[in-house]
């Protein structure tokens, strides 16, 4: 009993011990925050990269890719455990939006209806999935729109333009009388008061445009109706046509393009506000005006059947921006655009095409791709299962190449097979090492806390020498006296660890807001997305870390108190009572 | 009054061995390279219910003898018997238990714990004796007893005061209350009035005498003050590391 009482008394009355407590709290919080951010970074990194690739990837590092991919896919999909296999074409291109300066981009041709079978790319699409998901959280969402959103989220993604357009509106003019609209139009046109938008569902005809323009005399309102009309599938988009004089095509037939958010030059500033360096001409995310903007993508094709670039095979194609991809991986969001697989394959000269041999024989050159992404069924997706499946895939790839090209097929044209971890090994290993090193450094710094506890406790033991003599004279054993100081260290450790858990939880879960505040007040930006790939600092904590690190802190506190406790226990009571 | 015996080795074996018996106690301290003998050959028998005063000058070894008698220190040679058992041979834990349940110490400088109030200081012995659960289950009873002891010593109006808020005499009363809390068989007082003015010292002596007279409390007190020593049943003088009889007081 006396141990508990004395520990509590010392804890409350010996304020010097609060220095030790502060040290335990600071050091534990520091390690917890660092390990959470670094661990979260690694986890996000793995999840995000895995989300954008298959479990196993067949790829050729040459831009010209490899042929016979469909034969490979057919056989791969029969392998036990394989859920799906989908090709992708990857190349480089020049991207241009209107008069905005040209940017270099990575271009990926994706079979959009199938890509969701092998990776989580669809969930990165803002208009088609993220925005509906956000809208469905609104309980005031009209029932028909809710149903439409739910249907859209169930279906595969698409490169098609919108069937529902909306434009941001500062305010609805007072003279608008929606009740005057014919029922058929009124059902498809509404003012979303919560979002401050005019919304139109489906294709707007020119008659409907005229009808809607007539609802108000307000010129800004009329302009908004024109904009709705232009971005709907049926719009003539005359203005955009004027910006693309080279195009002789019917703009309504331009293919769709999905751009990484950063490719559109849109990003958050230090204060977390969305900004566009291109000025007001460029809409910001969430503004549907972004979608329906025309863009030009230029890629260089290859000599048919060869691995060299054909300077005459330059493809400059107009696209509609139909969506933006927000993977939250900086590298992807700032450098990648996604176009229909067949379109890119054709523009690069990688589609199947007729050719004439030197002998005069007419043949068909096989279609090529640069990658095949393979998704395993959940029960086959462990690292061990992937390692077991990988040789089977390699065998299939080699068999197809040998069957089609003979035994003398060049190694350079033979695709490699990698698991997703191997594919990203360079990045993942680097981050794992960085995490280990950083945590180790902070842990070493935290050893200071042990020394601090030792010094403070040693001081307390010296200061309390007479009291130790007193309690021994009243019958306390040496073990009991040691127990006072070990228990004192334990209580300090537990209190410090609990406070540190609370503090680190608060910091980690609000780390992005704190970072934004630091940027605002101090002009400091520690987390640079260009370096760390993600535009957000990881803000999750692992349960394991939350148990292990505070436990180590408690142990360290007891360790710091150990020597002073032993000294106190060994103290001769007579000498202690005579201590001056 | 009980018989007193200063030289048990030479005594008739039929004589009472007393509650506390020291036989040929030797104790010396190392002072640098030199060994300084403090107790050369001390023999003493304390009878149950006896009030023994040990008188001596400063540095004569009287406090050392008291500490050895109370199992707080060990002799270099000789034996200390408490109720017939050699306490020098007991383990550290057993000697701690003996101090907790059989002996009560009162020191010149009170040695109260500054973080605890008067009641808590008084309850220190039972706190050490009992586990947390046992103490909690008997807390009301023990607290009542502590207040009772403090009331007898005239300290029941200061229950929540800290030692720093008490006078010297009050502190010593609390120290006596703490020593009496576990109903010790022997109360060992080391210069109990040494740090007090004459009047307060006299009050403390009255308390000890009352304890001895009314409750038959065995008391061994060391003091350098001959006048105080004379208030005991028997006064022994320690000189040159040996104990001599100065004469029993009745």
For B72-109, write each residue's pLDDT tens digit.
Answer: 998 999 989 998 888 888 888 999 999 999 999 998 88
Mean pLDDT of A480-506: 93
Rounded Cα gap, residues A27 and B92, in angstroms: 39
* pLDDT the model gives residue B247: 47
Q: What is the predicted pLDDT for the residue at A531?
A: 56
Average pLDDT, whole number, for chain B?
85
For A154-207, what is each residue's pLDDT tens digit? Answer: 888 888 876 667 777 777 887 887 777 888 788 788 887 776 778 887 767 778
**Maximum Cα interatomic distance, chain A, rounded to a whole number of Å:** 115
Place of tokens 């529902």: A164
**Average pLDDT for chain A:** 83
Strand order in the sheet with A189-192: A164-168, A197-201, A189-192
A336's enclosing H/E stretch is: strand A336-340
List B80's β-bridge partners, or say none: B22
How many Å from the N-terminal Cα to the C-terminal Cα in chain B?
A: 8
Helix or strand run (H / E) with residue A464 = none
Distance CA A338, CA A90 (A): 9
Nearest partner of B98 among B109, B85, B113, judged by Cα: B85
Confidence of residue A96 (pLDDT cuts 50, 70, 90): confident
Tell me which of A112-121, A536-545, A548-557, A568-577 is least confident: A536-545
Q: Which of B115, B125, B126 is closest, CB to CB, to A13?
A: B115
Dig out the tokens for A63 from the structure: 């831009």
Range A374-394 average pLDDT = 91
Task: Strands of A250-308 (E only): list them.
Answer: 256-260, 267-268, 274-275, 294-302
DSSP state of A45: H
CA-to-CA distance for A390 and A346, rounded, in angstroms?
30
Q: Name the closest residue on chain B to residue A484, using Cα atoms.
A: B128
B119 pLDDT above the threshold of 90:
yes
What pLDDT is stored for residue A478 in this prediction?
Answer: 92
pLDDT tens digits for B161-184?
999 999 888 998 899 899 888 889
Residue A294 · residue A241 · CB < 8 Å: no
Q: How far is A463 from chain B (nearest CA, A)?
A: 12
Q: What angle do CA B184, B187, B189 make, to 5 degrees?
A: 150
Residue in A84, A64, A62 with CA at minimum distance from that of residue A374: A84
Spatial contact of A75 and A305, defined as CB atoms under 8 Å apart = no
Query: Is B11's pLDDT higher than 70?
Result: no
Q: Do A471 and B105 touch (CB under 8 A)?
A: no
Chain A environment of B105 (Cβ under 8 Å): 473-474
Whole-number pLDDT of residue A13: 81
Residues A253-282 pLDDT 10s: 788 999 998 888 776 665 556 666 554 444
| Candidate from A2, A475, A574 with C-beta closest to B96 | A475
CA within 13 Å, CB half, B49: 7
Place of tokens 């955009």: A240
Beta pairing partners, A338: A108, A258
C-alpha–C-alpha distance, residues A577 and A469, integer Å: 5
Whether A6 and B115 lie within 8 Å, measured CB to CB: yes
> For the segment A312-366, what is each residue's pLDDT rounded down to a tens digit?
888 888 888 888 888 877 788 889 999 999 999 999 989 988 888 878 888 888 8
Whether the CB-CB separation of A432 and A42 falls below 8 Å is answered with yes
Helices vs strands, H then E, count in chain A = 20, 18
Q: List, in order, residues 6 or more apart from A262 with CB less than 8 Å away.
A: A330, A333, A334, A335
Please list, in sequence order, all residues whose beta carbon lies within 8 angstroms of the beta carbon of residue A122, skipping any fewer than 6 positions away. A115, A116, A128, A129, A156, A157
Contact B60, B238 (CB under 8 A): yes
Is A472 within 8 Å of chain B by CB? yes
DSSP annotation of B72 reads S
Closest to A500 in 3D by CA, of A558, A546, A454, A440: A546
Task: Give dist(CA B241, CA B64) in Å, integer.
Answer: 10
In 3-state terms, what secondary structure has residue B28?
strand
Task: Check CB contact of A576 with chain B, cutoff 8 Å.
Answer: no
pLDDT digits (tens, 9 = 90+) for A510-537: 988 888 888 788 877 777 665 565 667 8
> In the predicted model, is pLDDT for residue A374 greater than 80?
yes
User: Which of A474, A479, A573, A575 is the best residue to mutate to test the B interface, defined by the most B CB atoms within 10 Å of its own CB?
Assistant: A474
* Secondary structure class of B42 (helix, strand, coil): strand
Tokens of B101: 């349940």
A480 interface with B at CB cutoff 8 Å: yes
Where do we find the tokens 């697989």? A341
Confidence of residue B7 (pLDDT cuts 50, 70, 90): very low
Q: Looking at residue A575, what is its pLDDT?
A: 86
pLDDT higher than threshold 50 for residue B250: no
**Nearest residue in B to A570, CA atom:** B92
Give the count of alpha carbons within 13 A of A128, CB side only. 24
Residues A201-226: what's their mean pLDDT?
A: 84
Residues 6+ apart with CB under 8 A from A211: A181, A182, A185
Please report the beta strands in A261-361, taking only residues with DSSP state E, as ranges in sequence order: 267-268, 274-275, 294-302, 309-325, 336-340, 353-356
pLDDT value of residue A172:
80
Residues in a beta bridge with B27: B39
For the ranges A44-53, A216-225, A282-291, the lowest mean pLDDT is seen at A282-291
pLDDT value at position A269? Answer: 60
Q: What is the pLDDT of residue A173?
A: 82
Mean pLDDT of A67-83: 93
H helices present in A232-295, as ranges: 238-243
- Which has the closest alpha carbon to B80: A187, A223, B70? B70
Q: Are A60 and A416 in contact (CB under 8 A)?
A: yes
Contact (CB<8Å) A471/B113: yes
């Amino acid at each position: 009993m006396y141990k508990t009482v004395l520990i509590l008394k010392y804890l409350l009355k010996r304020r010097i011990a609060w220095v030790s407590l502060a040290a335990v709290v600071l050091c534990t919080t520091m390690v917890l925050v660092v390990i959470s951010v670094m661990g979260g970074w690694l986890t996000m990194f793995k999840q995000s990269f895995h989300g954008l690739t298959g479990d196993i990837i067949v790829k050729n590092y040459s831009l010209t890719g490899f042929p016979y991919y469909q034969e490979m896919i057919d056989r791969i999909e029969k392998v036990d455990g394989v859920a799906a296999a989908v090709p992708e074409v990857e190349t480089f291109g020049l991207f241009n939006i209107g008069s905005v300066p040209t940017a270099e981009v990575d271009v990926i041709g994706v079979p959009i209806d199938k890509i969701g079978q092998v990776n989580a790319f669809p969930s990165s699409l803002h208009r088609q999935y993220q925005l509906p998901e956000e809208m469905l959280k609104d309980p005031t969402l009209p029932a028909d729109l809710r149903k439409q959103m739910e249907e859209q989220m169930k279906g595969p993604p698409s490169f098609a333009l919108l069937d529902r357009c909306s434009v941001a509106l500062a305010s609805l003019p007072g003279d608008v009388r929606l009740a005057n609209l014919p029922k058929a139009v009124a059902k498809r046109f509404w003012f979303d008061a919560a979002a401050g938008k005019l919304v139109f569902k489906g294709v707007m005809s020119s008659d409907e445009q005229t009808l809607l323009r007539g609802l108000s005399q307000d010129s800004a309102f009329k302009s908004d109706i024109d904009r709705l009309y232009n971005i709907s599938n049926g719009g003539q988009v005359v203005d955009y046509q004027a910006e693309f004089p080279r195009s002789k095509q019917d703009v309504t037939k331009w293919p769709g393009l999905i751009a990484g958010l950063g490719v559109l030059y849109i990003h958050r500033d230090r204060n977390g506000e969305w900004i566009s360096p291109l000025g007001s001409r460029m809409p910001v995310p969430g503004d549907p005006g972004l979608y329906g903007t025309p863009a030009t993508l230029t890629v260089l094709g290859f000599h048919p059947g060869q691995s060299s670039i054909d300077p005459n095979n330059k493809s400059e194609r107009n696209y509609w921006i139909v969506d933006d991809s927000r993977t939250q991986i900086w590298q992807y969001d700032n450098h990648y655009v996604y176009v229909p697989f067949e379109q890119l394959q054709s523009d690069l000269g990688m589609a199947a095409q007729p050719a004439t041999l030197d002998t005069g024989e007419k043949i068909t050159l096989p279609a090529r791709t640069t990658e095949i992404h393979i998704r395993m069924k959940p029960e086959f997706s462990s690292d061990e299962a992937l390692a077991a499946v990988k040789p089977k895939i390699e065998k299939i790839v080699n068999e197809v190449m040998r069957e089609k090209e003979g035994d003398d097929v060049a190694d350079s044209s033979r695709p490699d097979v990698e698991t997703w971890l191997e594919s990203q090994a360079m990045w993942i290993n680097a981050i794992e090492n960085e995490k280990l090193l950083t945590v180790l450094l902070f842990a070493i710094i935290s050893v200071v806390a042990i020394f601090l506890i030792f010094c403070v406790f040693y001081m307390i033991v010296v200061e309390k020498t007479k009291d130790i003599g007193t309690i021994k004279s009243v019958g306390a054993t040496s073990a009991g006296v040691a127990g006072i100081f070990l228990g004192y260290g334990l209580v300090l450790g537990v209190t410090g660890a609990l406070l540190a858990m609370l503090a680190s939880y608060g910091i980690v879960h609000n780390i992005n807001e704190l970072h934004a505040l630091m940027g605002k007040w101090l002009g400091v930006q520690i987390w640079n997305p260009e370096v760390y790939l993600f535009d957000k600092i990881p803000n999750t904590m692992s349960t394991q870390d939350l148990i292990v690190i505070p436990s180590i802190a408690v142990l360290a506190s007891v360790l710091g108190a150990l020597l002073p406790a032993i000294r106190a226990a060994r103290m001769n009571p007579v000498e202690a009572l005579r201590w001056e | 009054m009980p018989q007193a015996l200063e030289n048990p080795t030479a005594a008739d074996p039929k004589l009472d061995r007393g509650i506390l018996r020291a036989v040929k106690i030797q104790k010396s301290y190392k002072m640098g390279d030199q060994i300084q003998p403090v107790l050369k050959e001390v023999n003493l028998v304390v009878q149950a219910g006896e009030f023994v005063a040990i008188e001596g000058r400063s540095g004569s070894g009287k406090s050392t003898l008291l500490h050895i008698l109370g199992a707080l220190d060990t002799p270099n040679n000789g034996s200390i018997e408490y109720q017939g058992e050699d306490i020098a041979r007991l383990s550290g834990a057993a000697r701690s238990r003996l101090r907790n349940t059989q002996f009560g110490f009162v020191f010149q400088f009170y040695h109260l714990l500054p973080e605890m109030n008067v009641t808590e200081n008084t309850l220190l012995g039972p706190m050490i004796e009992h586990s947390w659960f046992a103490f909690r289950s008997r807390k009301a009873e023990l607290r009542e007893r502590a207040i009772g002891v403090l009331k007898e010593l005239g300290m029941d109006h200061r229950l929540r005061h800290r030692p720093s808020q008490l006078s010297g005499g009050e502190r010593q009363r609390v120290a006596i209350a703490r020593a009496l809390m576990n109903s010790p068989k022997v109360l060992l007082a080391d210069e109990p009035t040494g740090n007090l003015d004459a009047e307060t010292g006299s009050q403390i002596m009255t308390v000890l005498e009352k304890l001895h007279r009314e409750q038959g409390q065995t008391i061994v007190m060391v003091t350098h003050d001959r006048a105080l020593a004379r208030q005991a049943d028997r006064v022994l003088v320690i000189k040159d590391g040996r104990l001599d009889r100065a004469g029993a007081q009745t």
